[in-house]
């Protein structure tokens, strides 16, 4: 009798297993086909002046922001560079003007300090036909750390929210109305792969970048029918000063390599890791249960934290 009674349960487990395997197979197949379309079959030309004469890039003097500014200038767009250092802005603007023969404009703004900077930025952007906005400015921890042990925590909280979240909302608020009037435009919001899942020891940074990702997805759904593309860009490590990576590698590309790849996904993906090796890493992470991904990141960041503390003691 026990054997007979167990048959329905065994049958149920069989079908649960079969359906789960079918779901995983279909999901993997769909991801593979989507990846082939984006990375092999249907590469797009990057955005250009057909969207509007000007591109606006925040955090434009280093790393990914500078690479976006240069690549959009290469495509023939005039570039408005927004950052906090007048000296660096002048230098980058001069380099872009000389190399790509396009008009540039510099706007000095420290996104970490005050809200009234947006009045200044609005005035500086007045009258510009803006086709592309790159919300790139960002700040991160010096190294992985437990939340309560983050140096100067209260100031760090304010600064990270102002730079990583407030800037995205406020700059979008300034630029989006003009795009809607022309029924075309692209907004590229630079999030982070750490925003795809909770990342211990980078908790505050991860949470701010998750906001950028969710904000972008919602905004894209609201305005795509009106001709506006909003893309959430979620890179893994890129060889920048902020990431403290000096030498590019295959999986940690230079900003220039990363941005060229990422711009090719505009119009194909509203949410992208931007670069094929990063897309593969992102796909793998989405297959993991959230708890496994969190534990994996905790383990990795503990090692990075220990390495950083050892280096600090040695100095």
For residue 129 the two structure tokens come to 């036909």
Partnered with residue 229 across adjacent β-strands are 186
CA dihedral 107, 275, 241, 161 (to 10 degrees): 60
Q: Count the neighbouring beta carbons within 10 Å of the beta carbon of residue 181.
A: 10
Contacts of 284 (CB under 8 A, 6+ apart): none
3-state secondary structure of 45: coil
Q: Of residues 68, 118, 205, 275, which has the active-site annotation?
A: 205
Strands 78-83 and 185-190 turn out to be unpaired
Q: Is 205 a catalytic residue?
A: yes
Annotate 103-141 with DSSP letters as a single string. Answer: -EEEEE--TTT-TTHHHHHHHHHTT--EEEEEE------
Q: In what order do the strands lie in the sheet with 228-233?
A: 104-108, 78-83, 54-58, 130-135, 185-190, 228-233, 271-272
Pick from 272, 264, 269: which is nearest to 44 by CA? 264
CA-based nearest residue to 234, from 265, 201, 203: 265
Give the distance from CA 146 to its chain's centroid.
23
Cα angle 54, 86, 141 (rounded to 5 degrees) comes to: 95
Crossing angle of helices 203-223 and 167-182, rounded to 10° = 10
Would you please indicate which residues are annotated as catalytic (active-site) residues? 205
């Amino acid at each position: 009798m026990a054997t007979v009674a167990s048959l329905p349960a065994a049958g149920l487990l069989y079908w649960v297993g079969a359906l789960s395997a079918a779901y995983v197979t279909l999901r993997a197949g769909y991801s593979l086909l989507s990846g082939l379309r984006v990375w092999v079959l249907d590469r797009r030309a990057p955005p250009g002046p057909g969207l509007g004469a000007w591109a606006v890039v925040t955090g434009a003097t280093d790393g990914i922001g500078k690479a976006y500014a240069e690549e959009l200038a290469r495509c023939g767009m005039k570039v408005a560079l927004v950052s906090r250092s007048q000296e660096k802005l002048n230098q980058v603007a001069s380099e872009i003007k000389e190399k790509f023969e396009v008009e540039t404009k510099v706007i000095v703004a420290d996104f970490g300090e005050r809200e009234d900077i947006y009045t200044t930025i609005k005035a500086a952007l007045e009258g510009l036909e803006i086709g592309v906005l790159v919300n790139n400015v960002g700040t991160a921890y010096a190294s992985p750390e437990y939340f309560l042990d983050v140096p100067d925590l209260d100031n760090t909280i304010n600064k990270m929210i102002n730079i990583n979240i407030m800037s995205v909302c406020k700059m979008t608020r300034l630029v989006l109305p003009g795009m809607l009037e022309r029924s075309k435009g692209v907004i590229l919001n630079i999030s982070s792969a750490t925003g795809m899942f909770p990342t211990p020891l980078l908790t505050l940074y991860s949470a701010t970048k998750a906001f950028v990702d969710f904000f972008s997805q919602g905004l894209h759904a609201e305005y795509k029918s009106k001709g506006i593309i909003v893309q959430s860009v979620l890179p893994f490590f890129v060889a920048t000063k902020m990431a403290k990576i000096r030498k590019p590698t295959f999986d940690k590309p230079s900003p220039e390599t990363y941005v060229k790849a990422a711009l090719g996904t505009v119009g194909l993906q509203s949410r992208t890791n931007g670069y094929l090796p990063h897309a593969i890493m992102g796909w793998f992470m989405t297959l993991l249960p959230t708890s496994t991904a969190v534990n994996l990141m905790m383990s990795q960041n503990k090692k990075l934290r220990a390495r950083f503390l050892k280096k600090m003691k040695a100095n």
